[in-house]
Amino acid sequence: MATENKNLSNYDKNTIPNAKDFRFGIVVSEWNEQITEGLFQGAFSTLIDCGALPENIIRWNVPGSFELIFGARQMHEKLDVDAVIVMGCVIKGETMHFEFVCEGVTQGMKDLNLLYDVPTIFCVLTDNTLQQSIDRSGGKHGNKGIEAAVAALKMIELNSSTNA
């Protein structure tokens, strides 16, 4: 397991940019809400801890993970944000639905990163069981929402340095 011996949710604020001057869009799937709320809270508290102002963190909800693509595109087109974070959770079931949704969302997020000059950060859990998702949204393997917020800050810094 990739994060079993290293909890990537522990970060050093000295190694990432201060968030006080940035605006963030976060699109959250309502499907598997127990998990996506944990991811959102992890990201929100991390951004605040790193200096973001609460009013500069804009949250939109969408019904499911597949709709994250449309929500993120709308954020890119309608809001002045420095990064968009998408949060969802797809848990494998008995049908191919899991594979179709996971691949579609992944490709959609990749497309948004190619289309827009503002980073789209992928925070969609794709687990085999509910317990695995719980473990990654504030459980024993940390919180991928925290990691997404840190990634957003680092990508904003990269984006600003390449556009200077």
Domain boundaries, the chain: 20-162
Tens-digit pLDDT profile for residues 43-87: 999 999 999 999 999 999 999 999 999 999 999 999 999 999 999
| Maximum alpha-carbon separation in the chain | 49
| Strand, coil or helix: 59 | strand
The whole-angstrom separation of Cα 63 and Cα 51 is 30
Nearest to 43 by CA among 139, 144, 128: 144
Q: How many C-beta atoms lie closer than 10 Å to residue 114's C-beta?
A: 8
Inform me whether the pLDDT recorded for 2 exceeds 60.
no
The whole-angstrom separation of Cα 71 and Cα 65 is 10
Catalytic residue among 20, 49, 53, 97: 97
Interval 1-29 mean pLDDT: 82
Judge if pTM exceeds 0.85: yes
Which pLDDT score is estimated for 93? Answer: 73
Q: Which tokens hold the place of 25?
A: 């869009």
The whole-angstrom separation of Cα 160 and Cα 163 is 5
Instruction: Mark whether 76 is an active-site residue.
Output: no
Task: Give me the amino acid identity at 106.
Answer: T
CATH of domain 20-162: 3.40.50.960
